[in-house]
Amino acid sequence: MKEAPPERPSARGLRLAIVRSLFNRPVTDGLLEGARSELAEMGAAAGRVAVFDLPGAFELPLAARAAARSGRFDAVVALGAVIEGETDHYEHVAREAASGLAAVARETGVPVSFGVLTVRQEEQARRRAAPGPGNKGAEAARAAVTTALALRAIAGAGARRSRVRRGRRKGR
């Protein structure tokens, strides 16, 4: 049985940062195009999506942290491609990009989606960055928007409960 495609959330009104690695640029260009296209489909205004280019995936956590801490963005989409080579370099970069981006989200409370491909072969990366439903840049954009909206809903629910509790204490 084929799984239904995920529902597309609304990005209207959200401010989004995309941090993108320029290393393996043919692949990251495809990821960026997928992310931009998906954000447009979700209703994000082009003027509310900022793209910041970095040399490689290792630099993504630092830029994501700066974007998240700036207060200018509701979510960050991180895009990159780490392709295995002949040395252990691939493992170190992939691990640090993943753990660094996760740490940024936990530290700042701003959603940071992981659109960094970690693959064994260039062809695998190209397939995941190609236009269409399997584009991982589009998936990362959708994940960032979905998480930002969920966090807003959680914060809103908490604020409503706090108002109710304060009202009860005053005898209302």
E strand or H helix at 29: helix 25-41
Contact at 8 Å (CB) between 16 and 75?
yes
Is 92 catalytic? The answer is no
**How many Cβ atoms from other residues are within 10 Å of residue 38's Cβ?**
22
Task: Tell me, rounded to whole angstroms, the distance of Cα 65 from its chain centroid.
Answer: 12
Contact at 8 Å (CB) between 37 and 92?
no
> Of 89, 95, 163, 166, which is the active-site residue?
89
Find the radius of gyration of the CA atoms of the chain: 18
β-bridge partners, 114: 78
User: What interhelical angle do 136-169 and 122-129 show, nearest 10?
Assistant: 60
**What residues are annotated to the active site?**
89
